[in-house]
Amino acid sequence: MGLTVLVLAFLFFALGVAALVLAACRRHELNALRATCTQYEAVLNHLPAGITLVDASLNVTVHNAALLEVMDLPADLFAHGTTSLETLVRYNAQRGEYGEGPLDDVVGDVMARVRQPEPYRYERTRPNGSVLAVHGAPLPDGGFVTICTDVTERHKAEAALARESFDLQTILEHLPQGISVFDDQLRLRRWNRILLEVLELPESAVYEGVPFEELIMFPALRGEYGPGDPVELVKARKALALQFQPHRFERTRPNGRTHLVEGTPMVREGKVSGFVASYTDMSDRKRAEEVLQAKHDVLQTLLDNIPSGVTVFDANLNMVLHNDEVLKLVDFPKALAETQPHFSEVIRYNAAHGEYGEVDVEAKVAEMVALARHPTRHVMERTRANGQVLLVRGAPLPGGGFVSVYSDVTERRRMESALQRRSAYLQAILDQLPQGISVFDEQLRLKHWNHKLIEVLELPPAAVYPEVPFDDLIRVPAERGEYGPDDPEHYVRQRREQALRFEHHRFTRSRPNGRTHLVEGQPMTIDGAVVGFITTYTDITDHMQVERELRTRNEIFRTLIDNIPGGVSLFDGEFKLLAANEKFKQLLDFPDELFTQTPVTLESLFRFNARRGEYGPCDVEEKVQALMERAAWREPHLFERTRPNGTVLEIRGLPLPGEGFVTIYTDVTEHKRAMEAVARLAHQDALTGLDNRYTLESRLDQSVADARRNGKKLALLFIDMDNFKAINDSLGHAVGDEFLIAVARRLRENARESDIVARPGGDEFVLAITNIQAVSAAVRVVTDLFESLAEPVTLGAQQIIPSASVGIAVFPDDGEDRTTLMKHADVAMYSAKSAGRNGYRFFDAAMTVAADERLRLEADLRRALTNGEFVLHYQPKIGAASRRLLGFEALIRWQQRDGSLVAPARFIPLAEETGLIGAIGEWALNTACQTLQRWRGEGLCNLSMSVNLSARQLRNPALPAQVQGALARSGIPPERLEMEITESVAMEDPARTVEILRELKAIGISLSIDDFGTGYSSLAYLKLLPIDCLKLDRTFVIDIETDPNDAAICAATIRLAHTLGLSVVAEGVETVEQARYLDGLDCDVMQGYYFSRPLPEDAARAFIIHGVRGGEPAI
């Protein structure tokens, strides 16, 4: 419209100007007018609307370029300057510009319209879709002007605006708030239906352009703005609205509803063009918010009080909810959490603080965010750097986002690990048990078992698994017929009913394979409630066999202990009596009624003894307690106890496997008396009753010490009886022994009480004169001694005048210790003997004659071994009962080149002293073994050979090897060889003796103790020696039929040996009376001149061949 007016005004203005110019300027201004027209034509051609000027003849006289463009007209249509309007219309009609129809009709209709004298306006849509707005107006001269404007774009904009307006209104109608839009004049331009509802406005009052004050007058009149003049209240509201300031407030209406009113000014190109107001009914929302807030408060309280950490991320991955526990669990800063950080910030913080180990922080963030955008339900564990284990459960939320719950399971995992280890230990223990084990719960489902169960019950492994029902497991043996021949299901039901009673049961069952099982079930309870039962299956087949064997052994054992000569008692680990024989009760005088109580305890027996005075005067309970404490040690013990009746009991206690112990009581009263006699003899010479060598050395050491301490002298006299060998050889050993006894008696008579009188051996005596001031005192004693010895000794029909050679050494002049004094007295004695005998000599350093003699003898002794001057003689050993030859004792002899024999008493001690005894003894051992083997080769079998061992040989570690070598070289069986050691040699080093004798015994040879009773043995050590035989010394045998003491000693020794399981050889048997007496004492073997002297090898062979006949010696 505005453009058209502008164009018309311009045209009229241009025509008027042209007329004035023509009139005013005439011809001379024609050129200027043409120039001006050209300018207007240029302006016309730059107008955007198509313009045509039609004269009264309906010819187009003027048009512009825009017309050609808007109408798509060719330029040549106006090439001749003037074109008729009809031509133009026809052209357009031909191309369908006016629609369909006959061409002339269409042209006619158009031409008719343009001839109307009134202005017109219309719009036409061209075939190409563009829209033209056509505006025509008549001219004063009868023509008219038309303006064609292309309004296609405007139409499009208007259509878009209409659509937008519709969409906007649709949106407004669907908003939950009431909406009002006012322009800058406070006139209503837009609203929605909710506005009417919220403000309770009548529809007639709400229309476009209604003033603001009219609209709000309705609520004002209802008093919704408070008391007062509604007009004034409306004015105030209008004044406030005209400020066009943003505002927001809540208003509660009379109906109780609460509205949130929000106003926002509209600004266009920097100027306020109105404002938009929204009215939101907050009533339901506020109530919902209050409920939601209450729920939120409850939820937050709940979250803050649960032991787990909780985080909630919304769909945008913002942390919208958390509790304090999660911050503690993951060490997340509270300040950061309260900002509702994005998930990426949380991951970045954790990664930077090592929560995920050594990782690329941003890569980790990207990875975790990608997963969080598509959350799924998950459960995972995370072990933090500090070792803490977190269990994280995550779940997606409706509408996006997810919730995570964090639980600290460190302790739980530790306990589970411990439980797993304990369970593994339990299973390992179960699998090591010899019984089959099954554990069922209260529903009779299998919970635990071991491999032995499968083995014992012969179950298929596939049939045994966790939670397997009792019925299924029991059905396997039932179907094999192990419970009987009936329907297996009958037995399954029966076993199930029994199991459901949860009662203890125990029975044995023999399986088809012949094995017997002990089945024992025990209910399990927790806090008094039954939670299942455990059953053990023990294969007792072997155990039952063992029990049968044990019963048999027990019967044998009972028979055995009842026949043991000693008392026996067995106690268990709790000191309860397990067994005792009748001898035990007899030895201790226990009444039978004492053993009727159950059980009989060691304590009760101790108390009985204490009360009857068995332990002497004592407090009964204190004594019992002390005895029980000692018994609790359970250590091996051996002691003797003398009962009030004088009986001596040897009590030996030995621990038994299983903490019990056995005690053996032996009546050693007689044995004790015999041993006391033997013990006395250990310190005395058996023949004379004088001190023996051991006692001499001990007392002499003490006397030397006393003399040193008191500043006194001591004279030591070595006395050797002259020509004693001649007496012994000519008159016999019995006479010789009587002679020695007479000499001993005279020595004692000439000695003081403090002096020492001893017989070291043979025909040698020692007299120690103690506590003297001068040597002259010794001279007086010697003089008196010789006078006493000069008196004849009557021996039967013979009278013998004793003669002696005496050597004297004086302490401290001739030596400051026993050994030196004895050596020097010995030298002096040899000097006296060399001087003609029956005299005495004091030791003098110049005495070398005897020493020279000893040196000569030693040199000869060394040559003798090299020159083969030693020979063996063999003395027969005869069985006492059978009078059969059992073997020989090999005795060494030294036969010098001149044919003379050197007595063993002379060279054996020297050989011991010089160490030559080792080589001599080894030679004797080899020679004796070879001799026996030669006899065996000649058919002279079943004999034994005894060889003597010296002290030095016994100390030689190589002795067992030497014996083995001798046996190997000779080829004789080990059991045919016997080694003899003297009692005194054995006791020099008892521990070493026991050790080496055990080695010899292990070879298989026999061992015997020679000269038993003449040494100084300890019976405590003697019982430890692995010996087979005791040899009674001849000093006890010689007067056995006449001397009660000798007889008692022999009898005691024989009983002792037999008690110890040893045989006895009696030496020095020279008469038939002695032999018969020894027979009566149950002596095993005899040896002596009565049967045979020691014989050279040839004579011994002859003795073997001829044998012993009729109980008399053959030779």
> In the structure encoding, which two tokens stand for residue 541, read together?
């087949």
User: What does the pLDDT look like over 289-303, one tens digit per residue?
Assistant: 777 667 666 666 666
Q: What is the mean pLDDT of residues 543-568?
A: 78
Whether 818 has a pLDDT exceeding 90, the answer reads yes
On the CB side of 657, how many CA atoms lie within 13 Å of its CA? Answer: 0
Instruction: Give me the numbers of helices (H) and strands (E) for the chain, helices first please.
Output: 40, 42
Determine which of 279-283, 570-574, 625-629, 976-980 has the lowest per-residue pLDDT on average.
279-283
Which residue in 85, 75, 281, 274 sits closest to 196, CA to CA?
281
Query: In 594-668, which ranges are continuous DSSP H helix?
Result: 602-611, 620-631
Q: 3-state class of 83 per DSSP? A: strand
What does pLDDT average to over the chain?
84
pLDDT interval class at 341 (50, 70, 90): very high
Residues in the chain: 1115
> In the structure encoding, which two tokens stand for residue 428, read together?
């390992």
Q: Percentage of residues in the chain with pLDDT exceeding 90?
A: 26
Q: What is the mean pLDDT of residues 1069-1089?
A: 94
Cα(first)–Cα(last) distance of the chain, in Å? 187
User: What does the pLDDT look like over 442-497, one tens digit per residue?
Assistant: 999 998 888 888 888 888 988 889 999 989 988 988 888 888 888 989 888 988 98
User: What does the pLDDT look like over 244-285, one tens digit per residue?
Assistant: 889 888 888 777 788 888 888 988 888 888 988 888 887 777
Q: Are 911 and 893 in contact (CB under 8 A)?
A: no
Instruction: Report strand pairing: 258-268 vs 1029-1032.
Output: unpaired
For position 1101, what pLDDT does the model report? 94
Whether 1081 has a pLDDT exceeding 90, the answer reads yes
The better pLDDT of the pair 15, 871 is held by 871
On the CB side of 607, how many CA atoms lie within 13 Å of its CA? Answer: 8
Which residue in 678, 802, 833 sits closest to 740, CA to CA?
802
- The span from the CA of 456 to the CA of 535, in Å, is 13
Q: Which domains does the chain have, with CATH numbers?
A: 2-150 (3.30.450.20), 172-281 (3.30.450.20), 286-408 (3.30.450.20), 430-504+513-539 (3.30.450.20), 544-667 (3.30.450.20), 705-847 (3.30.70.270), 871-1106 (3.20.20.450)
Q: What is the mean pLDDT of residues 136-161?
A: 83
- The span from the CA of 178 to the CA of 197, in Å, is 8
> In the structure encoding, which two tokens stand for residue 56, read together?
């009264």
User: What does the pLDDT look like over 498-535, one tens digit per residue?
Assistant: 888 888 888 888 888 878 888 888 898 888 888 888 98
User: What does the pLDDT look like over 622-650, one tens digit per residue?
Assistant: 999 998 888 888 788 888 888 999 889 88
Q: What is the mean pLDDT of residues 169-198?
A: 82
User: What does the pLDDT look like over 921-955, one tens digit per residue?
Assistant: 999 999 999 999 999 999 888 899 999 998 888 88
- The span from the CA of 419 to the CA of 464, in Å, is 23
Determine which of 19-23, 500-504, 783-787, 1044-1048 has the lowest per-residue pLDDT on average.
19-23
Whether 22 has a pLDDT exceeding 50, the answer reads no
pLDDT interval class at 7 (50, 70, 90): very low
Give, as one character, the DSSP assignment of residue 299: H
Q: Is the peptide bond before 341 cis (omega within 30 degrees of 0)?
A: no
Q: What is the mean pLDDT of residues 793-820?
A: 89
Q: What is the mean pLDDT of residues 790-814?
A: 88
Q: Fill in the amino acid letter for 302.
A: L
Rg (CA), the chain: 73
Q: 3-state class of 424 per DSSP? A: helix
User: What does the pLDDT look like over 991-1024, one tens digit per residue?
Assistant: 788 889 999 999 999 999 887 767 555 566 677 7
pLDDT interval class at 304 (50, 70, 90): low
How many CB atoms sit inside 10 A of residue 349's CB? Answer: 19
pTM of the model as a whole: 0.33
Q: Are 103 and 93 in contact (CB under 8 A)?
A: yes
pLDDT interval class at 37 (50, 70, 90): low
Whether 1062 has a pLDDT exceeding 90, the answer reads yes
Burial class (CB in 10 A: 0-12, 13-18, 19+), 800: middle
- The span from the CA of 435 to the CA of 457, in Å, is 11
153-167, 665-679, 849-863, 1072-1086 — most confident range? 1072-1086
- The span from the CA of 195 to the CA of 176, in Å, is 10
Q: What is the mean pLDDT of residues 546-551?
A: 78
For CA atoms 558, 564, 565, 570, give the dihedral sign.
negative
Tabulate helix, strand, coil % of the chain (nearest 5): 45, 25, 30
Which residue in 495, 504, 509 sits closest to 444, CA to CA?
495
Query: In 361-469, which ranges are continuous DSSP H helix?
Result: 361-372, 410-432, 451-457
Determine which of 402-406, 912-916, 984-988 has the lowest per-residue pLDDT on average.
984-988
- The three state secondary structure string of 453-499 is HHHHHCCCHHHCCCCCEHHHHHHHHHHCCCCCCCCHHHHHHHHHHHH
- The span from the CA of 693 to the CA of 670, in Å, is 28
Whether 1096 has a pLDDT exceeding 90, the answer reads yes
17-21, 139-143, 305-309, 339-343 — most confident range? 339-343
Q: Percentage of residues in the chain with pLDDT exceeding 70?
A: 90
Q: 3-state class of 53 per DSSP? A: strand
User: What does the pLDDT look like over 683-717, one tens digit per residue?
Assistant: 888 899 899 998 999 999 999 999 999 999 999 99
Q: How far is CA 181 from CA 228, 265, 276, 810, 1112, in A?
A: 27, 10, 5, 157, 166
Residue 191 has phi, psi (to 5 degrees) of: -165, 175
pLDDT interval class at 592 (50, 70, 90): confident
Which residue in 945, 966, 937, 942 sits closest to 872, CA to CA?
945
For position 922, what pLDDT does the model report? 94
Q: Are 1033 and 1067 in contact (CB under 8 A)?
A: yes
Residue 404 has phi, psi (to 5 degrees) of: -125, 135
- The span from the CA of 806 to the CA of 568, in Å, is 59
Which residues on neighbouring strands pair with residue 124, listed in sequence order? 132
For position 852, what pLDDT does the model report? 64
How many CB atoms sit inside 10 A of residue 64's CB? Answer: 22
Whether 1035 has a pLDDT exceeding 70, the answer reads yes
